[in-house]
Structure 1
Amino acid sequence: MSTNSPMRLDAELTEAARATAGSMSRSLSQQIGHWARIGRELERSPGVTAQAVQAVLEGRGGYDQLNVQEQAIVRANWAEGIEETRKNLRLDRILAAQGREVVELDAQGEVTVRKTRAARLVSPKG
């Protein structure tokens, strides 16, 4: 069960989360929740090095050099990012904005090709 509980957060933490949230396609609340989950897992796993995990997430480190617990944290982070991107992805709008064809299956399983009209660029979230 998910509940919301109001809480007071340090201004520095809030600003850091706000700055990071946009680049990670998260809301402020989602970013703070994400950091909380990572922190919880780090505290549960004494063999985890936060710096090594962060380096991999930022593309500065090697996944294979992480231990099993660190790899699990990285995979969870990747899965969360993939799911968020997938939820917001609107290829139909992107292709329409580019004036490209859309190929899909109809209700009978037949391939249909739709020519899209060139339109103004629409963000994948829009």
Structure 2
Amino acid sequence: MAGEADLAVLLRVMRPELHAQAYGYAVSDQAIAGAFAQICEAEGMTVIAEVAVLAAAGIAVLAHWARITLTVHSDLAAVGLTAAIARALAAEGISANVVAGFYHDHVLVPWERRGDAMAALRGLSDV
């Protein structure tokens, strides 16, 4: 099934969902069971996981991040969704890290700004 590619539709129906647990970023030399994402880079493997998962693996977390999933099935080739999200969050002074899955986009924002980020993203649906 193909995802949605029309930016206006994506913004209108993206329905951001805030996950309850805090996430962290770490570098590991091995895969971490239960991680949300693991990205292999030349310098090492970046692991994104719930803070509790990282702690159980003995990995300290420097900062806590909130994971927001855009529940719309977006097409990987859709143009403008990441830019629109980045603009909305930047206007509020919120940093964002976007991870695209096959079905959904996930935005990680500073834990303490998660409410503001949700408001900014919901505001995109009102345009």
TM-score (norm: length of structure 1):
0.24
TM-score (norm: length of structure 2):
0.24
Between the two structures, name the one with larger relative contact order (CA 8 Å, sep ≥ 6): 2
Instruction: Indicate the structure with greater helix content.
Output: 1
Higher Rg of the two aligned structures: 1
